[in-house]
Structure 1
Amino acid sequence: MNPRRRRQLGIQKGDIDMTKFTKGIDRRTTLKGMGLAAAGALLPASLATPASAQAAGRVVVGTWGGDYARLLNKNIEEPFLKSKGFEVVQDQASDAPRRAKMVAERRLPRGTTDIQGLSAAQMFEMNAAGLAEPIDYSKLKNAGNIIPIAKYPYGIGHIISGKVVVYNPKLVTPAPTSYKDAFDPKYGNKLGFIDIQYQYVMLAAGLAAAGDMTALEKGKELLLAAKRGGARIYPTNEAFAQALKTEEISIGLMWKARAVQWQNAGITVDSVAPVEGTMAYISGFMIPKNAPNKAGAYAYMDAMLEKSAQEAFAVDMGYAPTVTNAVVAADLMKRIGFTEEENKKMKDLDYAFLAKNDAAMKEWWDKVFKA
């Protein structure tokens, strides 16, 4: 560049002459670059800068749909997360495809969800597959309130209920007291089982027969005796409920929380915690190892453990809280919870045993018991 032109542009001696670096770049190339920059500016932030969208507080929650998803939004997301600027996105699907997606994404440095809602057995399964982030309880201000049975190295229980004996008090007298009563052939075709709950039915039979959930062979004897007596098998929880409503059956096994929901719907049904000890049902959340926003996942876990969130789920869904500081009205707690003595006898499942034996259990159930 000549000295006169340098003076016009205000370029001092010793400054870098950028024209040397742009020589050869024609007008078409320059305009093309400007066009790309403009197009990038028009892209949604989630597409233009995916990493920054996550870092800004976007939390993707894998969960079942229906009432549970609605109540997560009502009792957790709106009051505790969205109000603080988090963007919460629910990835709704049944647990099987969500677990399959986690397995498919295992080699990715960043998965598509930050936190996953699963049963305790399914959380165990994902941890055994190497997909769960170990929980750092020091990151949770509400960690000290969690009841021991809901506290896992790889996940946290959000709601808890138990497998109880349900019965129609008009048709079953005296009232049952044990799991063994729920397999008694004397009830004939008034006794019902639920197909999709084969695992829990077989474990309950083991407890009834030998005081041990793993005593599958002893439990099978009880089941076959009930079958010979005329016991019915229903495909789903809803079909079982309908049979109770019409009095086609009068006794069986179900989660206490679901029995409360049926009572609220006008079905004549009571429940009893079995003397053998109630098998726990725990549903909660885990963090995938490759979750993009782990800080957001911890914020979600802390929100679900908030006293008022837990109390709201007890009212709305009939599940007992998993934190000790939640206060539930005595009449409601009597319906959804368990006495101090019953809580002491509550039994968490042996998830390692269940994972190892599930295939054989399903095969026997389908080919022998249902045949």
Structure 2
Amino acid sequence: MSDSLKTTRRTFLLGTAATSLIALGAAGPAFSADKGTVIASVFGGDYGDILRATVDEAIMAPEGYEVIQDISSTEARQTKLRTEKMRARSSFDVAVLADLDMYPMAKLGVLSEVTEENVPRLAAVIPALRKTYSVPQIYSYIAILYNPEKVTTPPTSYADLWKPEYKGKIGVSDKLHVATSAVAALVGGGSMSDFAPGQAKLLELKDKQDVQILPSNEAIAGAFESGDIWITLNYVSRGYSWRRSGLNIERAVPSEGAIPIAFEMAMPKNAPNKDGGFAYLDAALDPKAQIGFAAKMGYLPTVTDAELPAELEAAIGLPAADQDRLIRLDDDYLMQHQTEILDFWNREFKG
């Protein structure tokens, strides 16, 4: 039998079998109607692998969607959203960006409105994280991370980093200049909409506390391991990763409130498969998908009905009372003042 005839016969038999199962009411998810392709522009590495397993294959495929991951950088994704704005169709259906990077795209008017009608799972999202132009897929929050062998009294406030007993043992990541500036603003009497009062507090860290400004989060971990630093500001997801690698690190949620960072998903207005795009946003909020990211990467679920295992909750969880006190960064303020915030950081704080 020729290969072509074998293929034809096999296709016929498979089609007959599927038809029979459907007629009997026994068709499973594998036989869902083909709903087309969904192109998701996402990060690669562990993030992309977890997304593929928990959303693409576990939820979207049984619903009849084929998902193709377009692995790219934040800058490439933003460039496409800008340049494809006037095209009939975008080159992807879903884009993933950090919250501070998603906001400028919303201001450009390129993102579809997200409602409970087109994304039903939006109803389960933590209120402090809800937006009208995107869904928060995963989040973490800025807390005080410290070595409990050196810092024997757990910190309770962001202001504790300015205590004299930590002089020379405080480290901050150069990559987290926005978050660190926000914390300094809170300590200095400012707000998420006014970082100016925090400038004096940053200079105090530099001149009085001999703060170590390290080039990356990896360098922060190395400084903890060597004992060069005892305490820092960073995302709890980082602390979770460092603990898994063997570092002795605890977290303290400050009394002022935790500052969240969310990775969000949005759909361009000119997405080729709009039904598929909304379905993908909804699938990303599924409790099982959310728990998958928490277990692997230490990012918290953005929905209220995803229950973490007790051990994981103890390691990264944020109690409901603290969720209600999340202090969101002011996206509009940061978009307008990001240059001056960075200039002060580089010229005055680091200089």
User: Pick from 97, 107, 112: which aligns with 2:86?
Assistant: 107
* Contact kept in structure 1, 2:35 and 2:276, CA below 8 Å: no
* Code of the aligned partner of 1:250: W
* Code of the aligned partner of 2:130: K
Matched, 1:200 2:182: no
Unaligned 5+ residue runs, structure 2?
A: 1-33
Alignment of 1:192-271 (within 5 A): 192-210=171-189, 212-228=191-207, 229-271=209-251
Judged with a 3 Å threshold, the aligned counterparts in structure 2 of structure 1 residues 57 and 275 are, in CA distance, closer, same or farther, namely: same
Two-structure CA RMSD over aligned residues (Å): 1.6
Matched, 1:154 2:133: yes
* Code of the aligned partner of 1:237: N
Distance 1:257 1:93 in 2: 22
Task: Quote the residue 1:140 is aligned against.
Answer: 119
Q: Displacement, 1:303? A: 1.0
Greater per-residue helix proportion:
1
Task: Quote the residue 2:25 is aligned against.
Answer: none
TM-score by length of 2: 0.86
Give the match's secondary structure for 1:161: strand
Judged with a 3 Å threshold, the aligned counterparts in structure 2 of structure 1 residues 193 and 110 are, in CA distance, closer, same or farther, namely: same
Distance 1:56 1:82 in 2: 10
Task: Quote the residue 2:328 is aligned against.
Answer: 348
Distance 1:218 1:172 in 2: 27
Distance 1:349 1:133 in 2: 22
Alignment of 1:12-31 (within 5 A): none
Q: Displacement, 1:150? A: 2.4
User: Pick from 96, 102, 106: which aligns with 1:127?
Assistant: 106
Distance 1:56 1:324 in 2: 29
* Code of the aligned partner of 2:181: M
Give the match's secondary structure for 1:106: coil
* Contact kept in structure 2, 1:178 and 1:274, CA below 8 Å: yes
* Code of the aligned partner of 2:99: A
Distance 1:185 1:301 in 2: 47
* Contact kept in structure 1, 2:177 and 2:342, CA below 8 Å: yes
Matched, 1:168 2:168: no
Matched, 1:279 2:259: yes
Q: Displacement, 1:325? A: 1.5
Task: Quote the residue 2:157 is aligned against.
Answer: 178
* Code of the aligned partner of 1:221: A
Q: Displacement, 1:185? A: 5.2
* Code of the aligned partner of 2:121: N
Task: Quote the residue 1:309 is aligned against.
Answer: 289
Matched, 1:339 2:319: yes
Alignment of 1:84-99 (within 5 A): 84-99=63-78
Distance 1:137 1:175 in 2: 41
* Code of the aligned partner of 2:98: S
Unaligned 5+ residue runs, structure 1?
A: 1-54
Task: Select the structure of larger CA radius of gyration.
Answer: 1
Distance 2:127 2:322 in 1: 15
* Code of the aligned partner of 2:111: A
* Contact kept in structure 2, 1:63 and 1:93, CA below 8 Å: yes
